């Protein structure tokens, strides 16, 4: 009874920014803390998410969406009516079409066409669902990444990971519920807001892990303090806090005591998590991971280790795909850096029986123009109208290739999936009716899909 | 909300669920039987409409449960036109015949029979019998939309407890609930609470002693006055406002470049310290530049609106992000001043409040007329220096005039000579090659100049092409021009408003044969500013190891990339317009016209294009001439302009400006000129601040369809929503008028919103819990009459914030002990009834400041540029950060400034502050979360600066704490918690000390590691104790 009232207060206090439907439901259930595991609206297909965010926006035309006609019209101007109302970031209406730069072949049982750039993805093509008909509203990076992560181009809204941990809580009690890694050339353009909690309580924001050194900031004891002294110090802190609790009666003090104990546990569990040297060689080789050498591959392996430990949402940013120029050289590098590990993650999850309830999402914030950018005939501009993403596991139909674009890869012609629809579908897989996972702020109920989003039934297994 | 409607989803419609059930309807046939309102229509309305348009909610200002109100209509006018169903909005919306969302919103449409009933009823005259339905004649006016008035103080039983009006309201409610107020907190606890609340710093043990020993009747009031007069009051409450003002030291978005806005931050602190009335506080921030003869301070205040983010990632449309900033400003005014959610109305009429989309754009129109300016600002010392320099220059000039009685005649003769000595120049209006801009946008201005905006590449060569019929082109001119939207008005885009032109190149080809390109060879370059050669400032280093220089204009045609023409004169004169003229070796002539390609190479920026390292042209104009021997006009553009004004009509200032140039041409005044030149060299560097400045011509404002700036609709004039107070008479149609309206005595929400947030800061929850929204969807106030009483009182006292604070902290309500019994905890877990004092963890900045203060490291300096206390380096480098960011770790005392002064990058928030819920300035925040997490524990336990404070506290304790461990423990304890330890607490700490010290002495642990150098086991043991003290719940809690 006592724990319950403490917990209720804790929860209410921290969630006091208006109680959404979810919070009320949890309240009546007198759940323990804001990160305690919660049940979604209905039986979920996916219990956790790994989002491989290809920041900078990969070229669908070089990797997934083969356009022989684009090759044919290489060097010519696109039809003017195609460009009516089209807003591009850099190029002007006189930019000519540029054919795909890589060869495509058919793979898997369905003979899915994929580019020579991604031979490892080709091997898992029967496990993944490819959506060639993605569309977004943004054509600049920061707004595009925010839209993909928070459902709006504006700052200030919770990210998908925050929504999911708000809705489902976490199974991990000595690690954060929502973990973020970053590899590649740069951090994402949207910065911290890509994994922010917006108006949700800050306990739901993503925690950025580092691929080397202390994974969590300030995890290590200061020099001159060993585990024993840390334990002694925490015991003193606990006893002093308890004495004060006895005097003032505020149950918030119990929460503080718990936080310190959890921090101590995290000091042990996080380094163990990060230690890839214990992984067998064949697993390291599968990913292309090298212990102690931060990379996207290491992060993929760490993502698996995180979800094995109950972490709800893992997001790996790899910012390297903004090929306005040097497309051929750089996209080769990017694919080399990400293709093997992305495929390995899917394979590894599958062989461990985790793929069935882990959703893997791969993609960036938009696509790239069929038109060339720059004089070198070797770059593409930002393109919001059409791009490709893939998903695997977690109730997504394996081997599916969904959606079509026109013969130039410019517009979606079939089964358009807007970012909001993707969000609705991800929420559905996690067991949520996306319109009902809401949070009251400023007098209205907000949700990840805002006023949009339709479930993409075709994607479901 | 269940279909893909274009309509917002938050419109919950509880009353629609039972629609489909087989409701038996009388199905009247039009013309044959009469529809009966009570029998046929009212049940349909009740089932399907009352949920949103009934007693509880009146969306769109419409209620359908009351006769008079229903017939009157909603925000958009009548909804029932008796006799004409198809003209009736009610019918249109339920039948789905209008282009607006079909009603009931988010639910299944009404059954055909139900729609038919409504149709028939309207067509038969919409008869609604008197006395049927609710009585209301119009939608209820929400409490917050009516100006507050003071209610009589309620009667209470325990009148002796009440110290002021606040207590009467609080006690009345407690008594009604059968609760007693708590005892007054003990003096130590009270002073710590008061100090944290008023200054954000804990009291020193000496301050506590003074108060505890003070037997005078007004001992507490004396402390209140002392703390209200402290300069730290402005820091503590300034930070509170800075949350609402979304203050940060960087631009946000991808580049997130550092910006200079700390003058604004200091303005806020100073304004609060001098208790500037809240009405003036708001007015200066919204429209300081429009006040008569605004002082620098009043310009700086307009930084409030400029705190919006700026997106300069490559390839953006600057207008799109100017509009984003405008939306942000509307939202900031809504949350911070109005206490209303205006942002809904960016796209559509507000669903709950009578705030129309049109209202949004009326207010928007007030704001939409400013330059995004960046002004030079000076510290008081610098201002004094400038005044002194100008005074001395004027003295010298006055002396010249005095000694030269015929100076006016001589100046006129000079004017006559130079007036027409310039050749005719033809302005070029070339096309910009998009690919060549490196992502920067060059927008053509009406005068033929180009203004650069958006992403600023540090190296690029813009290519501009024009066709011309002009024959025998002998020379080209580039004019560098000012623009309010450039840093310090330009003319360049560097942070100093300077530019470097690495190379000026022209290619010419005949129109008849565009491929026959000739590179024009320039043989002479002149400019009105030729500076000596100077090495580039380190901020422009490009890692090339080449020696890169700026200097005279010849550097722009020397074919060398490493040299450039620069306008970077001294700080007083670098932001003036300049010009250069380039003469070709032979005239350009092509029968049938020429294609001219102008290439402006701008290669003198630095290596990091994600930082402020560009050195680009900001605004410039290109022209050409056929005159022979063209040279750059030595007469400055500003003087040339005045020469166009007849001498008799010039102002004294204009005459002085002309004189100031002319005197430089008078050979015999060489010495005086040199003296003035020397004075210019002493001109202070100053700083810059983002400000607003009003445009000469109004921008037109339109209602934007769905808030999309690409879909402008009807044009809108500035105005205010009808449901709030009317515009005060004589309010001008600009931002000043808006400020007058917001701070008008009749403004219903302005005072309430502020009072409520102040209350929230003291007690943890506002009188209205939803402090960002006092509108219809807000939570009902816990003490409505108290909120109104305090709001009126605030206005009555000249909007004095210090008066408001004084009232609150001297109340008995505030002074109660925060101890809570299980019963009270059960009955009022959130302390909304205030039967006890507030107790909660302090804000992020104060968590840090307490540790700094307790350790003695705190540097109490107020104001100045933001500082960079230690932070993990990797956070500011890719791949953690988008671009490499500067984080020059502060050394010495600057390291220990209050957390408020920590440099704030929006995209890389300072980790310690973020972990403790500080907002990052992306948007206005009027209510912080207050979390309690393991990451916070790791921070206070292990973060380097916290360790430094533990070490310092240990040292101080050993040096000053007394003669034995017990005394020392008491000393350190009081520095953290203000109170002395209990015996049990002392024992606990002594045991820890003994254990830790023993391990350091035995070599089990290395004292030099703990101490950061010294191999002193005793000190290391004390550092362990200090670390524990600094990590106690009570240390970071306001008790």
Chain A residues within 8 A of B355 when measuring between CB atoms: none
Query: What is the average per-residue pLDDT within A339-354?
Result: 98
Q: Identify the CA nearest to B497 among candidates B694, B260, B321.
A: B260
pLDDT tens digits, one per residue of B822-851:
999 888 988 999 999 999 999 999 999 999
Task: State the DSSP string of A375-444.
Answer: TTT--EEEE-S-EEEEEESTTBPTT-EE-EE-TTS-SEEES-EEHHHHHHHHHHHTT--TTT--EEETTE
Smallest CA–CA separation between B972 and chain A, in Å? Answer: 15
pLDDT at res. B19:
30
Provide the 8-state DSSP code for A217.
Answer: T
Instruction: State residue B358's pLDDT score.
Output: 94
pLDDT tens per residue across span B178-233: 999 999 999 999 999 999 999 999 999 999 999 999 999 999 999 999 999 999 99
How close is the nearest chain A Cα to the Cα of B148, in Å? 22
CA nearest B757: which of B172, B164, B245? B245
Domain positions in chain B are 14-140, 277-379+686-748, 380-420+647-681, 426-632, 944-1038
Q: What is the mean pLDDT of residues B796-805?
A: 98
Which pLDDT belongs to residue A16?
Answer: 32
Instruction: Share the mean pLDDT of chain B.
Output: 92
Based on the fold, state whether residues A13 and A149 are members of the same structural domain. Answer: no
pLDDT digits (tens, 9 = 90+) for B872-889: 999 999 988 999 999 999
Confidence of residue A25 (pLDDT cuts 50, 70, 90): very low
Query: For chains A and B, what is the number of CB pairs under 8 angstroms?
Result: 292
Question: What pLDDT is attached to residue B1020?
Answer: 98
| Block residue for tokens 């009043």 | B298
B1031 part of contact set with chain A, CB < 8 Å: yes
Nearest to B854 by CA among B956, B706, B784, B737: B956
Q: C-alpha angle B821/B826/B830, rounded to 5°?
A: 95
List pLDDT tens digits, range A359-381. 999 999 999 999 998 777 899 99
Interface test with B, best of A41, A140, A158, A267 (most B CBs within 10 A): A140
Question: CA angle B672-B678-B680, nearest 5°?
Answer: 110
Can you give the residue range of the structural domain that contains A314? 41-211+294-459
B434 touches chain A (CB under 8 A): yes
Q: Which of B775, B880, B944 is closest, CB to CB, to A182? A: B880
A221: pLDDT strictly greater than 70: yes
* pLDDT tens digits for range A77-99: 999 888 888 888 888 778 899 99
Smallest CA–CA separation between A296 and chain B, in Å? Answer: 11
Distance, in Å, from the CA atom of A254 to the CA atom of A246, rounded to the nearest integer, reads 11
Please state the three-class secondary structure of B96-158 as a single string: CCCCCCCCCCCCCCCCHHHHHHHHHHHHCCCCCCCCCEECCCCCCCCHHHCCCCCCCCCCCCC
- Per-residue pLDDT, averaged over B841-865, amounts to 98
Q: How far apart are CA B474 and CA B586, in angstroms?
A: 7
Same domain? A62 vs A105: yes
Classify strands B619-625 and B473-480 as parallel, antiparallel or unpaired.
antiparallel
Which secondary structure element, helix H or strand E, spans residue A349, and what is its range?
Answer: helix A327-351
Least confident of B33-42, B689-698, B708-717, B779-788: B33-42
Would you say residue A10 lies in a domain? yes
Establish if B1022 touches chain A: CB-CB under 8 angstroms.
Answer: no
Cβ of B777 within 8 Å of Cβ of A444? The answer is: yes
Q: What is the tally of structural domains in chain A?
A: 2
Q: Per-residue pLDDT tens for B286-330? A: 999 999 999 999 999 999 999 999 998 888 888 999 999 999 999
Q: Which of A18-32, B93-107, B342-356, B898-912 has the highest mean pLDDT?
A: B898-912
Q: Determine, yes or no, domain membership for A230.
A: no
Q: Are residues A108 and A20 in the same domain?
A: no
Cis peptide before B491 (omega within 30 of 0): yes
Mutating which of B3, B59, B254, B455 best tests the A interface, going by the most A Cβ atoms within 10 A? B254
Q: Min CA distance, B932 vs chain A (Å)? A: 6
The pair of structure tokens assigned to B579 is 């010009």
CB B14 within 8 A of CB B90: no
pLDDT at A31 over 50: no
> Which residues in chain B touch residue A158, judged by CB atoms under 8 angstroms apart?
none
> In this structure, are strands A128-135 and A387-392 parallel, antiparallel, or unpaired?
antiparallel
User: Which chain A residues are closer than 8 Å to B1024 by Cβ?
Assistant: 225, 229, 232-233
Q: How far is A142 from chain B (nearest CA, A)?
A: 6
The pLDDT of B651-665, averaged and rounded, is 96
With 70 as the cut, is the pLDDT of residue B8 above it?
A: no
Mean pLDDT throughout B487-506? 97
Same structural domain, A19 and A132: no
Please indicate whether residue B50 or residue B1032 has the higher confidence score (pLDDT).
B1032
ipTM of model: 0.87
Q: Are A94 and A162 members of one domain?
A: yes
Cβ within 8 Å, pair B927-A17: yes
User: How many C-alpha atoms does A327 have within 13 Å on its Cβ side?
Assistant: 28
A381 vs B contacts (CB less than 8 Å):
315
- What residues form DSSP beta bridges with A315? A51, A180
A219 contacts B942? CB cut-off 8 A: yes
Note the pLDDT of residue B367: 96
pLDDT for position B94: 87
User: Do residues A57 and A95 share a domain?
Assistant: yes
The backbone region for B569, taken as left when phi is positive above 0, alpha when psi lies in -120 to 50, beta otherwise, is beta
Chain A interface test: which of B821, B909, B937 (most A C-beta within 10 Å): B937
For B204, half-sphere exposure in the C-beta direction (CA atoms, 13 angstrom radius) is: 6
| Rg of chain A in Å (alpha carbons) | 23
Q: Which residues of A touch B938 (CB under 8 A)?
A: 216-219, 263, 266-267
DSSP-assigned beta bridge partners for residue B478: B580, B622
Q: How confident is the model at residue B39 (pLDDT cuts 50, 70, 90)?
A: confident
- Pair A454, A406 in one domain: yes
Q: What local confidence, expressed as pLDDT, does residue B75 receive?
A: 73
Q: Which of residues 793-832 of B touch A (CB under 8 A)?
A: 818-822, 825-826, 829-830
CATH number at residue A80: 3.40.720.10
Residue A378 lies in a domain: yes
Q: B770 contacts in A (CB within 8 Å)?
A: 18, 442-443
Confirm or reject contact between B1016 and chain A (CB < 8 A): no
In this prediction, residue B103 has a pLDDT band, given cuts at 50, 70 and 90, of confident
Residues of A in contact with B996 (CB under 8 A): 229, 232
Which residues of chain B have a CB within 8 Å of the CB of A139? 315
Cβ contact, residue pair A17, B439, below 8 Å: no
A110 and A13 within one domain: no
Quick one: average pLDDT of B664-681? 96
Check if B980 contacts A (Cβ < 8 Å): no
Both A303 and A328 in one domain: the answer is: yes
Does A242 reside within a domain? no
C-beta atoms of B825 and A9 within 8 A: yes
In sequence order, the β-bridge partners of residue A391 are A129, A361
Q: Cα(A266)–Cα(A282) distance, rounded to whole angstroms? A: 28
CA distance B307 to B245: 7
Which chain B residue's Cα is nearest to A209? B880
Mutate to test the interface with B, among A24, A55, A151, A191 (most CBs of B within 10 A): A191
pLDDT at A1 over 50: no
Domain assignment present for residue A177? The answer is yes
B401 has pLDDT over 50: yes
Average pLDDT over residues B673-688: 96
Average pLDDT over residues B666-695: 96
Task: Check residue B138 and give its pLDDT.
Answer: 65
Check whether residue A30 and residue A82 sit in a common domain.
no
Out of B343, B434, B920, closest to residue A90 by CB: B434
SS3 sequence of B522-581: EEEEEECCCCCCEECCHHHCCCCCCCCEEECHHHHCCCCCCEEEECCCCCCCCCCCEEEE
- On whether both A308 and A167 belong to a single domain, the answer is yes
**Which chain B residues contact residue A324 at CB under 8 A?**
314
Inform me whether the pLDDT recorded for A19 exceeds 80: no
3-state secondary structure of B272: helix
Q: Which of A88, A201, A435 sits opposite B9 (nearest CB)?
A: A435
Residue B100 has pLDDT above 90, yes or no: no
Pairing between strand B450-454 and B619-625?
A: antiparallel
Residue B137: band (very low, low, confident or very high) from pLDDT cuts 50, 70, 90: low
Residues in chain B within 8 Å Cβ distance of A266: 934, 938
Over residues B714-720, mean pLDDT: 96
pLDDT at B232: 98
Average pLDDT estimate for B765-776? 93
Does position B440 have pLDDT exceeding 90, yes or no?
Answer: yes
The residues with which A128 forms a beta bridge, in sequence order, are A392
**Contact B1039/A at CB under 8 A:** yes
- Phi, psi for B858 (deg, rounded to 5): -50, 130
Residues A58, A198, single domain; the answer is yes
The mean of the pLDDT values for chain A is 90
């Amino acid at each position: 009874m006592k724990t319950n009232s403490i917990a209720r207060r804790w929860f209410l206090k921290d969630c006091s920014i208006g109680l959404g439907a979810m919070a009320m439901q949890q309240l009546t259930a007198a759940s323990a803390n804001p990160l305690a595991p919660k049940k979604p609206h209905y039986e979920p297909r996916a219990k956790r998410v790994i989002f491989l965010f290809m920041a900078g926006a990969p070229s669908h035309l070089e990797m997934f969406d083969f356009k022989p006609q684009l090759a044919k019209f290489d060097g010519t101007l696109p039809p003017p009516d195609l460009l009516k109302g089209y807003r591009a970031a850099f190029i002007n209406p006189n930019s000519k079409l540029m054919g795909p730069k890589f060869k495509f072949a058919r793979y898997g049982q369905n003979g899915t066409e994929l580019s020579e750039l991604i031979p490892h993805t080709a091997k898992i093509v029967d496990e993944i669902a490819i959506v060639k008909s993605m569309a977004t509203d943004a054509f600049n990076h920061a707004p595009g990444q925010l839209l993909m992560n928070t459902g709006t181009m504006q700052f200030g809204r919770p990210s998908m990971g925050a929504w999911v941990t708000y809705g489902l809580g976490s199974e991990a009690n000595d690690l954060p519920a929502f973990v973020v890694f970053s590899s590649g050339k740069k951090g994402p353009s949207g910065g911290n807001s890509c994994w922010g909690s917006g108006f949700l309580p800050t306990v739901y924001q993503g925690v950025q892990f580092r691929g080397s050194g202390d994974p969590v900031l300030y995890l290590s004891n200061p020099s001159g303090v060993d585990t024993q002294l840390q334990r002694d110090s925490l015991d003193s802190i606990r006893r002093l806090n308890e004495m004060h609790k006895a005097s003032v009666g505020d149950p918030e003090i119990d929460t503080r005591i718990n936080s310190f104990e959890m921090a101590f546990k995290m000091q042990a569990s996080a380094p163990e998590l990060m230690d890839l040297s214990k992984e067998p060689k064949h697993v390291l080789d599968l990913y292309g991971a090298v212990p102690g050498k931060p990379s996207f591959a290491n992060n993929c392996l760490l993502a698996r280790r995180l979800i094995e430990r109950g972490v709800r949402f893992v997001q790996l940013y790899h910012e390297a795909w903004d090929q306005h120029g040097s497309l051929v050289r750089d996209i080769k590098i990017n694919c080399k850096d990400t293709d093997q590990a992305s495929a390995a993650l899917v394979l590894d999850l599958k062989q461990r029986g985790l793929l069935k309830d882990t959703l893997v999402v791969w993609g960036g914030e938009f696509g790239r123009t069929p038109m060339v950018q720059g004089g070198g005939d070797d770059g593409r501009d930002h393109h919001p109208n059409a791009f490709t993403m893939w998903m695997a596991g977690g109730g997504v139909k394996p081997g599916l290739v969904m959606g079509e674009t026109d013969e130039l890869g410019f517009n979606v012609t079939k089964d358009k999936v807007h970012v909001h629809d993707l969000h609705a579908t991800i929420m559905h897989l996690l067991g949520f009716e996306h319109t009902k996972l809401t949070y009251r702020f400023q007098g209205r109920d907000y949700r990840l899909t805002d006023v949009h989003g339709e479930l993409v039934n075709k994607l479901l297994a | 909300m269940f279909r893909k409607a274009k309509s917002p989803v938050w419109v919950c419609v509880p009353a629609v669920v039972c629609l489909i059930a087989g409701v038996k309807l009388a199905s009247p046939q039009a013309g044959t039987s009469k529809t009966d309102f009570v029998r046929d229509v009212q049940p349909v309305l009740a089932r399907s409409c009352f949920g949103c348009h009934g007693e509880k909610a009146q969306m769109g200002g419409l209620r359908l449960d009351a006769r008079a109100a229903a017939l009157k209509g909603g925000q958009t006018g009548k909804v029932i036109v008796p006799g004409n169903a198809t003209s009736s909005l009610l019918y249109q919306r339920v039948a789905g015949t209008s282009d607006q969302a079909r009603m009931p919103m988010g639910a299944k449409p009404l059954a055909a029979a139900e729609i038919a009933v409504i149709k028939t009823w309207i067509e038969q005259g919409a008869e609604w019998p008197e006395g049927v339905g609710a009585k209301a004649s119009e939608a209820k006016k929400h409490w917050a939309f009516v100006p507050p008035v003071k209610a009589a103080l309620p009667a209470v039983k325990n009148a002796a407890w009440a110290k002021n009006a606040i207590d009467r309201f609080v006690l009345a409610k407690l008594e009604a609930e059968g609760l007693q107020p708590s005892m007054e907190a003990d003096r130590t606890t009270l002073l710590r609470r008061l100090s944290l609340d008023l200054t954000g710093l804990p009291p020193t043990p000496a301050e506590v002693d003074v108060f505890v020993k003070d037997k005078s009747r007004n001992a507490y009031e004396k402390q209140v006055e002392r703390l209200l007069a402290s300069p730290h009051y402005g820091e503590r409450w300034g930070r509170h406002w800075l949350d609402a003002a979304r203050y940060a030291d960087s631009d946000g978005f991808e580049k997130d470049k550092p910006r200079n806005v700390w003058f604004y931050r200091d303005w806020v602190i100073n304004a609060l310290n001098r208790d500037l009335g809240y009405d003036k506080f708001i007015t200066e921030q919204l429209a300081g530049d429009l006040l008569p003869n605004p002082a620098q301070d009043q310009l700086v205040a307009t930084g409030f609106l400029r705190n919006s983010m700026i997106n300069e990632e490559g390839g953006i449309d600057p207008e799109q992000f100017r509009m984003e900033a405008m939306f942000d400003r509307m939202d900031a005014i809504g949350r911070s001043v109005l206490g209303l959610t205006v942002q809904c109305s960016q796209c559509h009429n507000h669903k709950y409040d009578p705030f129309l989309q049109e209202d949004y754009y009326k207010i928007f129109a007030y704001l939409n007329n400013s330059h995004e300016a960046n002004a030079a600002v000076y510290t008081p010392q610098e201002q004094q220096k400038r005044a002194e320099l100008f005074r001395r220059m004027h003295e010298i000039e006055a002396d010249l005039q005095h000694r030269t009685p015929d100076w006016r005649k001589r100046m006129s003769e000079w004017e006559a000579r130079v007036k027409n000595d310039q050749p005719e120049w033809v302005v070029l209006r070339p096309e910009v090659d998009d690919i060549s801009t490196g992502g920067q946008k060059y927008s053509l201005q009406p005068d033929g100049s180009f203004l650069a905006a958006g992403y600023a590449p540090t190296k690029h060569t813009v290519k501009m092409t024009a066709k011309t019929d002009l024959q025998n082109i002998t020379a080209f001119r580039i004019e560098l021009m000012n623009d309010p939207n450039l840093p310090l008005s330009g003319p360049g885009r560097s942070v100093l408003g300077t530019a470097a032109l690495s190379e000026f190149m022209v290619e010419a080809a005949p129109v008849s044969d565009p491929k026959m390109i000739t590179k024009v060879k320039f043989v002479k370059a002149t400019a009105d500013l030729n500076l000596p050669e100077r090495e580039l400032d380190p901020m422009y280093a490009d890692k090339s190891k080449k020696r890169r220089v700026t200097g005279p204009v010849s550097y722009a045609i020397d074919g060398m990339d490493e040299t450039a023409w620069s306008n970077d004169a001294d700080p007083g004169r670098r932001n003036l317009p300049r010009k250069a003229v380039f003469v070709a070796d032979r005239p350009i002539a092509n029968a049938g016209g020429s294609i001219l390609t102008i290439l402006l190479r701008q290669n003198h920026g630095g290596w990091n294009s994600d930082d402020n390292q560009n050195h680009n042209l900001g605004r410039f104009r290109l022209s050409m001439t056929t005159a022979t021997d063209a040279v750059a006009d030595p007469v400055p553009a500003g003087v040339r302009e005045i020469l166009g004004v007849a001498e008799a009509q010039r102002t004294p200032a204009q005459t002085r400006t002309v004189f100031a140039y002319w005197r430089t041409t008078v050979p015999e005044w060489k010495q005086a000129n040199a003296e003035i030149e020397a004075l210019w060299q002493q001109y202070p560097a100053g700083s810059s601040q983002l400000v607003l400045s009003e445009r000469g011509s109004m921008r037109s404002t339109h209602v934007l369809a769905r808030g999309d700036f690409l879909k402008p609709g009807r044009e809108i004039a500035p105005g205010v929503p009808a449901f709030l107070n009317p515009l005060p008479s004589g309010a001008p149609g600009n931002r000043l008028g808006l400020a007058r309206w917001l701070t008008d005595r009749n403004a219903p929400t302005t005072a309430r919103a502020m009072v409520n947030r102040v209350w929230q800061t003291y007690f943890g929850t506002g009188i209205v819990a939803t402090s960002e929204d006092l509108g219809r969807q807000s939570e009902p106030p816990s003490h409505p009459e108290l909120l109104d009483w305090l709001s009126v009182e605030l206005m009555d006292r000249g909007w004095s914030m210090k008066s408001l604070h004084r009232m609150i902290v001297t109340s008995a309500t505030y002074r109660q002990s925060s101890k809570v019994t299980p019963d009270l905890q059960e009955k009022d877990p959130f302390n909304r009834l205030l039967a006890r004092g507030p107790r909660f963890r302090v804000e992020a900045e104060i968590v840090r400041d307490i540790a700094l203060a307790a350790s003695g490291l705190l540097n109490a300096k107020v104001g100045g540029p933001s500082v960079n206390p230690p932070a993990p380096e990797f956070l500011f480098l890719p791949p953690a950060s988008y671009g490499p960011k500067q984080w020059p770790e502060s050394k010495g005392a600057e390291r220990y400034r209050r957390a408020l002064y920590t440099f704030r990058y929006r995209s890389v928030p300072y980790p310690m502050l973020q972990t403790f819920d500080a907002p990052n300035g992306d948007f206005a925040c009027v209510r912080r979360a207050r979390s309690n997490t393991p990451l916070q524990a790791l921070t206070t336990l292990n973060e380097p600066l916290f360790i430094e404070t533990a070490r310092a506290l240990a040292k101080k304790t050993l040096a000053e704490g007394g003669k034995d461990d017990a005394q020392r423990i008491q000393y350190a304890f009081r520095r953290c918690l203000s109170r002395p330890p209990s015996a049990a607490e002392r024992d606990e700490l002594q045991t820890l000390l003994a254990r830790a010290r023993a391990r350091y002495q035995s070599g089990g642990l290395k004292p030099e590691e703990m101490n950061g150098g010294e191999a002193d086991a005793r000190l290391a043991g004390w550092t362990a104790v200090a670390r524990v003290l600094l990590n106690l719940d009570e240390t970071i809690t306001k008790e």
